[in-house]
Amino acid sequence: MYDKQTIMLPGPVTIHPRVLSAMSKPMINHRGEEFGQIYDYCVKNLRDIFRTKNDLFLLTGSGTCAMEASLGNLLNSEDKILVIINGKFGERFKEIGERYGELVSLEYEWGRSIDLEDVKAKLDEGDVKAVTLVHNETSAGIINPAPEIGKLAKEKGALFIMDGVSSIGGNDVYADDWDVDIAVFGSQKCLAAPPGLSAISIGKRAWEVIEECKDRPYYTDLLKYRDSASKKPPQTPYTPAVSLFFALEEAIKIFLEEGIEENIERHRKYSDAIRAAITEMGLTMFPQLNGYSHYSNTVNAINLPKGIKEAEVKNKLREKGIIISGGQGRLKDKIFRIGTMGYLSPEDMVNVISALELVLKDLKYDINVGRAVEKANDILFG
């Protein structure tokens, strides 16, 4: 009994038994009709979930693989790219960007809001070919102002590349309305499939730049993906992770049975409950918000109380069967993170809050056990 685990990481997440079961179907021909239909189904429905009419491709690889596909296919070494950073995945775009183009960075402390005036000033320096933004900065639990930055980029004729890995399906995303030229996505986040697949959408303006790009990586060569996808039945240029496609197809079915809006609302409600509970416990959220940024629906980054170590909270929760995350990189021992993505019920939210109360009390933190649960119950079931 005591090996039961509820995964509340910022991805990978707890997976629905229907998805686990779909994954164990016998192997099929990756060049045949049956695979083509699954590929088509995933593409068509992910486009709806991205809210885009752009082309969309699925890659066998993590979200980082799709991030590299975005910049690696776009930039020549002399092209300027504006990378906006307020967390680990913003930094990842920087690390990728400097391998392919000329970097212009706009860096904030992790978890601090982006100031649109700063973005405008950087764009005014001229000649920026593309702007990258991590919509939901998983490392810091903050939602960055994608629509506003998309608009600024468009005004200056720059492409807008958005990492939607941990937002698409869990936070509001309107890729086309926000002028997103390239959006990237990971299977193991809001859609609650296993990790190993990523997706990338490409708009018309982006294709024009991609076609002119002089060199690009091979495994993530988007021209090859476009070519293979146009075959009948559609294919991937290299052998796809067929079993993960079985899983993603089933995860999308489950997602759409609930509905796009309803999924987003669920993530919002779960995070509202966690934030109310956290506040009741006297803890504070990590992100520093301004008028444009928001707390994430999908990842709650919470400041660790003074004198309490990340490992203590994580390990004691793990003993109770709940797997949460600490801080990445420079945020180690400063925050802990509770994800709301995946196959989680409202009761799982109550469970993590209740367990956290006991853990904090055990660690000599001053707390009235039960109060935070009450707050969460009000939101979840009120």
Residues that bind its own copies (CB under 8 A): 5, 7, 9, 11-15, 20-21, 23-30, 32, 60-65, 67-68, 72, 95-96, 99, 186, 188, 194-196, 215-220, 237-244, 247, 323, 342
Tell the smallest beta-carbon distance from residue 322 to its own copies (Å).
11
Query: Quick one: 145 or 186, whose CB is closer to its own copies?
Result: 186
Query: Quick one: 300 or 325, whose CB is closer to its own copies?
Result: 325
| 141-165 core/surface letters (b: 16 or more CB in 10 A; e: else) | bbbbbbbbbbebbbebebbbbbbbb
Compute how many other C-beta atoms are within 10 angstroms of the C-beta atom of residue 315: 11
Peptide bond into 12 cis (omega under 30): yes
Query: Quick one: 67 or 143, whose CB is closer to its own copies?
Result: 67
Query: Quick one: 86 or 187, whose CB is closer to its own copies?
Result: 187
Beta strands at 299-303 and 335-339: parallel, antiparallel or unpaired:
antiparallel
Tell the smallest beta-carbon distance from residue 88 to its own copies (Å).
12
Tell the smallest beta-carbon distance from residue 311 to its own copies (Å).
12
Compute how many other C-beta atoms are within 10 angstroms of the C-beta atom of residue 335: 24
For residues 201 and 181, the answer to whether their CB atoms sit within 8 Å is no
Tell the smallest beta-carbon distance from residue 215 to its own copies (Å).
6
Compute how many other C-beta atoms are within 10 angstroms of the C-beta atom of residue 60: 17
Query: Quick one: 217 or 346, whose CB is closer to its own copies?
Result: 217
Tell the smallest beta-carbon distance from residue 211 to its own copies (Å).
17
Tell the smallest beta-carbon distance from residue 7 to its own copies (Å).
5
| Spatial distance between the Cα atoms of 170 and 299, rounded to a whole number of angstroms | 10
Query: Quick one: 165 or 209, whose CB is closer to its own copies?
Result: 165
| Spatial distance between the Cα atoms of 43 and 235, rounded to a whole number of angstroms | 12
Which of 134, 132, 119, 203 is CA-nearest to residue 168? 134
Query: Quick one: 65 or 173, whose CB is closer to its own copies?
Result: 65
Sequence-ordered list of residues with C-beta below 8 angstroms from that of 337, at least 6 positions apart, any chain: 9, 10, 141, 299, 300, 301, 302, 324, 325, 326, 327
Tell the smallest beta-carbon distance from residue 18 to its own copies (Å).
11
